[in-house]
Amino acid sequence: MLTFRTLTAQVVGVTAATAVVAVIITALVAVPLAVHSANRQAREELVDTSALAVELLSGERPAARERIVRQLRRDDIAVYLIRRGVVDRAGLPDRVVQQVAGGALVNTRGRVDGRSAFIVGRPLSGNSGGVVLTRPASTGTAGLVLGGVWLALLAGLLGGVGAGAVLARFIARPIRQAAAAAAHLSAGDRSVRLTGGGPAEAAELAAAFNHLAAALATSEGRERDFLLSVSHELRTPLSTIRGYAEALADGVVGADGVPKAGATMVAEADRLDRLIADLLVLSRLEAADLPLDVVRVDLVELMRAAAEAWAPRCAPDGPRLLVELPPEPVLVDTDPGRVRQVVDGLCENALRIAPQGAPLVLAVRAGPRAGVLEVRDGGPGFTDDDLAVAFQRGALHRRYRGIRKVGSGLGLALAARLVARLGGRIEAGHAAEGGARFTVEIPYPDREPYRTRTLP
Domains of the chain and any CATH numbers: 7-142 (3.30.450), 202-286 (1.10.287.130), 295-443 (3.30.565.10)
- Inter-axis angle of helices 7-59 and 62-74, nearest 10: 170
Mean pLDDT value of segment 255-265? 82
Within 10 angstroms of residue 84's Cβ, the number of other Cβ atoms is 8
Angle at the Cα of 11 (from 8 to 15), degrees rounded to 5? 140
Residues whose CB is less than 8 angstroms from the CB of residue 1 and which lie 6 or more positions away in sequence, other chains included = none
Angle at the Cα of 301 (from 295 to 307), degrees rounded to 5? 125
What average pLDDT does the chain have? Answer: 76
Highest mean pLDDT among 81-90, 222-231, 366-375: 366-375
Q: What is the pLDDT of residues 138-184, one digit of tens each?
A: 655 555 555 555 666 667 667 767 776 777 667 667 777 777 888 87
Sheet holding 359-366, edge to edge: 320-324, 359-366, 370-377, 436-443, 425-430
Rounded to the nearest 5°, which phi and psi values hold at 272?
-65, -40
Q: Let me know: does 216 contact 185? Beta carbons within 8 Å.
A: yes
Mean pLDDT value of segment 333-361? 87
Q: Could you write out the DSSP letters of every residue in 143-183?
A: HHHHHHHHHHHHHHHHHHHHHHHHHHHHHHHHHHHHHHHHH
Q: Let me know: does 209 contact 182? Beta carbons within 8 Å.
A: yes
State residue 182's pLDDT score: 82
pTM score over 0.85: no
State residue 282's pLDDT score: 65
d(CA 303, CA 299): 6
Contacts 24+ apart (CB under 8 A), 136-140: 136/76, 137/39, 137/42, 137/109, 138/35, 138/38, 138/39, 138/42
